[in-house]
């Protein structure tokens, strides 16, 4: 079993839809959870950062961590064509250690 | 803003050539990382460094070496390039600051797309 599993998609939604992106993981020691967004031919950029369990909201984006289920989610409300990108989940056990990445989900938001 | 720059966006090399990929960050970050990204395989860690002249192997170090002579610069070296090293190479850096929780997040450069013929 891979340490971090992420559905690669592609996922195609109409503009304005609510998008749900998910990752599951096997290592219960993970404590730091991140979502990165990567536009085509660019490097990943940090979108959301969560420590341990709970929810975090930033504008149209909400990150959720359920450590009991080893499951993290990113929700995008009122999705826009500019949200079209690959979304990567990443996690680590200890701060400042290398991240373990999911393979990324490719999202297309159609106007 | 944190800036991580990589020496080339696109690079084409021949099999057997020695290849240098350079990464520079301007935020005085202690930690630097090299990843490669391939379709269907995601991001895989090659090497990382927590300090000048220090290096640690990642998940796939074979065929690569690194050099960190200055804090701001981290170089990835392909000693003898092979076709299976054709990939997107991404450099990242992060701070060891114990302050804000976001302070240790990794910031990525734009990537170097390397093709080995």
Could you read off the pLDDT of B38-48 as tens digits, one per residue? 988 889 999 99
How many A-B residue pairs are in contact by the CB < 8 A criterion?
46
- With 0-12 / 13-18 / 19 or more C-beta atoms within 10 angstroms meaning exposed / middle / buried, residue B54 is exposed
Nearest CA in chain A to B6: A43
Each residue's pLDDT tens digit, A23-69 = 999 999 999 999 999 999 899 999 998 888 889 999 999 999 999 99
Tell me, what's the pLDDT at B95? 83
For residue B1, name the pLDDT band (cuts at 50, 70, 90).
low
**Dmax (CA) of chain A:** 41
CA distances from B94 to A5, A67, A71, A95, B18 (A): 24, 25, 25, 10, 28
Each residue's pLDDT tens digit, B53-82 = 899 999 999 999 999 999 999 999 999 999
**Residue A70 β-bridge partners:** none
CA distances from A104 to A2, A4, A39, B57 (A): 14, 10, 12, 23
Q: Are A9 and A102 in contact (CB under 8 A)?
A: no
Which 3 state secondary structure label does DSSP give A83? helix
**Residue B76 β-bridge partners:** B21, B66
* A101 at interface of B, judged by CB pairs closer than 8 A: yes
* A42 at interface of B, judged by CB pairs closer than 8 A: yes
**Residue A37 β-bridge partners:** A45, A87
CA distances from A102 to A10, A22, A23, A59, B80 (A): 14, 10, 7, 24, 29
Q: Taking residues B3-27, report their average pLDDT.
A: 95
- Chain B residues whose beta carbon lies within 8 Å of the beta carbon of residue A49: 101-102, 105
Which 3 state secondary structure label does DSSP give A110? strand
Which 3 state secondary structure label does DSSP give B40? coil
CA distances from B17 to A17, B37, B63 (A): 49, 21, 12
């Amino acid at each position: 079993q891979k340490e971090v599993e992420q559905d690669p998609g592609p996922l195609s939604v109409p503009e304005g839809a609510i998008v749900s992106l998910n990752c599951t993981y096997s290592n219960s020691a993970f404590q730091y959870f991140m979502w990165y967004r990567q536009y085509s031919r660019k490097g990943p950029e940090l979108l959301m950062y969560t420590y341990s369990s709970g929810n975090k909201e930033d504008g149209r984006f909400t990150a959720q961590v359920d450590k009991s289920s080893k499951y993290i989610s990113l929700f995008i409300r009122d999705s826009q064509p500019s949200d079209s990108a690959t979304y990567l989940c990443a996690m680590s056990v200890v701060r400042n250690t290398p991240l373990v990445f999911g393979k990324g989900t490719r999202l297309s938001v159609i106007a | 803003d944190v800036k991580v720059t990589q020496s080339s966006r696109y690079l084409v090399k021949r099999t057997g050539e020695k290849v240098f990929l350079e990464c520079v960050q301007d935020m005085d970050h202690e930690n630097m990382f090299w990843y490669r990204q391939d379709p269907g395989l995601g991001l895989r860690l090659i090497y990382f460094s927590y300090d000048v002249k220090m290096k640690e192997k990642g998940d796939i170090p074979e065929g690569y070496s690194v050099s960190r002579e200055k804090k701001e610069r981290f170089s990835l070296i392909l000693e003898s390039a092979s076709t299976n090293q054709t990939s997107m190479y991404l450099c990242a850096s992060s701070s060891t600051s114990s302050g804000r929780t976001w302070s240790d997040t990794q910031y990525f450069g734009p990537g170097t797309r390397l093709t080995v013929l």
